[in-house]
């Protein structure tokens, strides 16, 4: 068995992201942390500059992606999906909110062991864990054992469809590395009648405004998180072909700008930098 890659360096972002959710009113108050509040305040001047000069900032993109993933998940549940796995959940409030709204839903939140224990304890303290809302450890590069994707998906009813979500994860890895996980996921979803994968992604389209700025910001974030931040695709067709080559049947790409009149999401000046990718496996 090969040693799974260490992804612990990106966990610090969970505190800041979690505070964005609480400030926007889409997260329960008990998800608020002192560390998240500190980071939120520390980054406020940079976010202000980004909003007024660039036309959007990190908080804008975080809210765009979160609301759009929620929107698609609502639609999938209403079409019959009753099983969800959220990978790298951090302090995401999604599992708590959706389990409150949908009593038929089984929701497994997963993260690296330390964060998973923290999330489990937090939910346990507020008495919101149950047989259908659980937290499990995972390492997306573990090939077998209790940290593997197969072990997590093995907890579900494989006669029913499933949705797998990653939010705020994939751009912390260069394309060849994260593609290892995507290929593993496509194979694992074969066990279900239908599998849907929802993820955010920050493509670097040729001709996009602030192309060089994004490259610089990516390098800075990579240095802080000790990761290789990557911008994976330069065109939608490139992403679709890549996912098909990895074993998915199809890929649909959602632009937040197409949902401004449907969802309560902040708007950016010009073309948003974030996209939601929705990959399918099965009938």
Note the pTM of the prediction, 2 decimals.
0.86
pLDDT in tens, 242-280: 999 999 999 999 999 999 999 989 888 778 888 999 999
Q: What is the pLDDT of residue 267?
A: 87
Rounded CA separation 75/38 (Å)? 35
Fold of 56-282: Rossmann fold (3.40.50)
pLDDT in tens, 61-95: 888 999 999 999 999 999 999 999 999 998 899 99
Q: What is the pLDDT of residue 214?
A: 55
Q: How confident is the model at residue 35 (pLDDT cuts 50, 70, 90)?
A: low
Rounded CA separation 96/119 (Å)? 11
What DSSP string runs through 154-170? TTS-TTS-EEEEE-S-G
pLDDT in tens, 160-190: 999 999 998 998 888 999 999 999 999 999 9
Return the H-helix or E-strand segment holding 134.
strand 133-137
160: buried, middle or exposed (CB in 10 Å: 19+, 13-18, 0-12)?
middle
Q: Which sequence spans correspond to the domains of the chain? A: 56-282
Q: What is the pLDDT of residue 171?
A: 85
Rounded CA separation 265/69 (Å)? 12
């Amino acid at each position: 068995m090969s040693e799974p890659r260490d992804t612990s360096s990106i966990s610090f972002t969970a505190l800041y992201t979690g505070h964005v959710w609480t400030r926007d009113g889409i997260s329960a108050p008990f998800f608020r942390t002192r560390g998240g509040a500190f980071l939120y305040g520390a980054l406020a001047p940079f976010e202000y500059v980004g909003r007024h000069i660039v036309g959007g900032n990190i908080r804008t993109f975080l809210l765009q992606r979160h609301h759009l993933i929620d929107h698609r998940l609502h639609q999938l549940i209403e079409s019959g999906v009753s099983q969800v796995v959220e990978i790298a959940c951090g302090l995401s409030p999604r599992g708590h909110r959706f389990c409150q709204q949908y009593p038929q839903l089984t929701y497994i939140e997963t993260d690296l062991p330390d964060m998973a224990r923290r999330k489990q304890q937090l939910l346990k303290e507020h008495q919101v864990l149950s047989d259908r809302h659980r937290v499990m450890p995972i390492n997306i590069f573990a090939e077998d054992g209790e940290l593997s994707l197969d072990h997590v998906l093995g907890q579900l009813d494989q006669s029913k469809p499933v949705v797998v979500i990653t939010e705020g994860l994939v751009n912390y890895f260069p394309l060849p590395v994260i593609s290892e996980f995507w290929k593993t996921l496509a194979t694992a979803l074969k066990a279900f009648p239908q599998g849907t994968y929802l993820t955010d992604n920050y493509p670097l389209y040729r001709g996009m405004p602030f192309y060089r700025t994004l490259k610089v910001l990516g390098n800075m974030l990579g240095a802080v998180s000790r990761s290789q931040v990557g911008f994976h695709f330069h065109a939608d067709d490139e992403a679709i072909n890549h996912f098909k080559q990895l074993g998915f049947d199809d890929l649909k790409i959602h632009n937040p700008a197409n949902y401004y009149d449907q969802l309560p999401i902040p708007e950016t000046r010009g073309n948003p930098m974030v996209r939601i990718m929705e990959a399918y496996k099965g009938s």
